[in-house]
Amino acid sequence: MEMLDLVKDLAEDIGATVLMVTRSPDDTLRLGGLTVLVADSEVNPPRDTAELLADPPDSLRACLADGPRP
C-alpha cells in the first residue's frame, strides 16, 4: 500500500479532510471527492474531481498538456 492510500484510509476512518497540493491528476483522482483549483491567482470553488478533469478550464487544460513536472 502506498502512502497516499494510507492517508486516504486514515482520513475516511476519522472523518478528516485532506488538503493536498499536487500537479498529478492521478493522485487527485485516487483521493476522489472535491478539488479546489488555484490558477491565475484565483481560487475556484470546489468541484467533483472526476468532472473537473473530464472538462477542465483552460488554465488546467494547459497545465495537463504540459505533463508532470519533476
Domain count, the chain: 1
Does residue 33 sit in helix, strand or coil? Answer: coil
pLDDT exceeds cutoff 60 at 69: no
**Residue pLDDT, tens place only, 48-65:** 999 999 999 988 988 887
Distance between first and last Cα of the chain: 23
Q: What is the pLDDT of residues 14-42, one digit of tens each?
A: 999 999 888 888 888 988 889 999 988 99
Q: Cα–Cα distances in Å, from 1 out to 9, 17, 23?
A: 11, 20, 21
Q: Give the range of the structural domain holding residue 17, as residue numbers without chain letter.
A: 3-66
**What backbone phi and psi angles, to 5 degrees, belong to 40?**
55, 40
Contact 5, 12 (CB under 8 A): no
pTM summary value: 0.76
Q: What pLDDT, on a 0 to 100 scale, did the predictor assign at position 45?
A: 95
